[in-house]
Amino acid sequence: MVARQPEGSAGADAAFMQRAIALAERSPWPDPNPRVGCVIVDAAGTVVGEGWHEGAGTPHAEAAALALAGNLARGGTAYVSLEPCAHTGRTGPCADALVAAGVSRVVFAQTDPNGVAAGGADVLRASGVEVEAGLLAGEAAAINARWARTVALGRPLVTWKFAATLDGRSAAADGSSQWITGEEARRDVHDLRATRDAIVAGTGTVLTDDPRLTVRREPDRMPLGRLPETAPLRVVVGLRDVPATARVHTGPGGVVHLRTRDPQVVLDTLWERGVRDVWLEGGPTLAAAFLSAGLVDEVVAYLAPALLGAGPAAVGDLGITSMDAIRRLEVTDVTRVGGDIRVQAVPASVAGKE
C-alpha cells in the first residue's frame, strides 16, 4: 500500500499512479483485455481499495478496487492506469461503476486506444466527476504496448521463430533437425513460448518432426504476468491429416487443426478465439506464407555456430529474384544464449522505416 498523503498533491498523485501501474503489471498477457491497475483513495488520502484485471471474464481493475473500498470510495479519488471503459462486454462499463460508487475524482494515465471501449472520460465528466488524464502515460502505455498494437492491427501479433546453422540451414539434407542449437537455447525458446497464447506450426513440421508444441515449465523461469496454470493453444495449419497418435495431441491446453493455407484466415480464426499473441514455429513453407502476406511482426532467430552445407533453409520462396526486393529487418536485440546467438528483429514496416 502507498503511505497516506495529502490527496490531490502532485507527489501523492504520482505515487498513487505508480502503485496503479505496479498493480497493472500483475495482469496477465496475452489476454484480449489490457493490463490495468486501480487504486481507490478516500477524501483523507488513505488507500481503501486496490485491484487489477486478472484476465478475460474477470472483474475489471476498477470493479475489483471498488468492491474492496465499498462506501469508503464515496467522495474519493480513483487512480487508474488506463482510461475507465465505457463499454459493456462480459462486464459493465467501469465509468458507470465509478459514478455509481460516488467517486468525485478520477486520474488515469493512458487514454484507451480501443475505440470500442473508449469514452469513459466523457461519461465521467458528464456525470460531474473531475477527470485528469495523462499522468505517467508513458509508463502505463509501455506495459500495454503489445496489446495496443493488436488493437491497431485488429489481429494477433506474430513472432516467427527459427533455428539455423551459420550457413542458413534449418535441417540436414535427410530432414533431421534435432538438435541444431544447444540445451540453453532450447530452454530459452520455452521461456518465450510461455509468453504467447498460441503456438502455430504447419502440417509438414508436425508430420516430420512430431513436436508437442508445448511449454516445458520451470517455475523459476516463468515470466511475470503469465498465469502459470495456462498453456498456449497448439495450432496446426494445413490441409493434410494429422494422425491421432501425433504428439501434438498430448500435453496441457487445447489443440486445433486449421485446414487452410491462408495466414489471414489463420489469424482471423485465432482472433475470434481470443488469441492475441502467436508464436510461429512453422516450417519454411508456412513461414514464407506469413512473411509474404506481411503478417510477421517480429523474428526470433537462434543461430548455432555450425555448418551443414546442404539441407532446407529456414524460410521458403518469398518471390524475391533480385537484391532490389531484399527484405531487410531492424535488429532489436542480440544475445548469447549458451553456445548459440539469439537475434531478435522486426520488419522495416514494424520499425517504421519503410
**DSSP track, 98-159:** HHHTT--EEEEEEPP--TTT--HHHHHHHTT-EEEE-TTHHHHHHTTHHHHHHHHHTS-EEE
- β strands within 166-287, DSSP E: 198-202, 233-237, 255-258, 277-282
Rounded to the nearest 5 degrees, what angle is found at the Cα of 135, between the Cα atoms of 130 and 136? 160
Task: State how far the Cα of 273 lies from the Cα of 180, in Å rounded to an integer.
Answer: 33
Distance between CA atoms of residues 66 and 98, nearest Å: 8
- pLDDT for res 93: 92
Structure confidence at residue 353 (pLDDT): 60
**Annotation marks residue 330 as catalytic:** no
At residue 160, φ and ψ (nearest 5 deg) are -95, 125
Stated pTM of the model = 0.85
Cβ-contact 279, 232 below 8 angstroms: yes
Candidates 50, 62, 281, 298; catalytic one: 62
Ranges in the chain, pLDDT < 50 = 1-7, 223-229
| pLDDT at res. 260 | 96
Q: In what order do the strands lie in the sheet with 77-82?
A: 47-52, 37-41, 77-82, 105-110, 130-133
CA distance 22 to 8: 20
Which pLDDT belongs to residue 177?
A: 83
- In eight-state DSSP terms, residue 194 is T
State the pLDDT at residue 221: 52
Q: pLDDT tens across 133-181, in order? A: 999 999 999 999 999 999 999 999 999 999 999 999 999 998 888 889 9
DSSP H/E element including 208? helix 203-209
Q: How far apart are CA 190 and CA 280, in angstroms?
A: 13
CA distance 197 to 270: 10
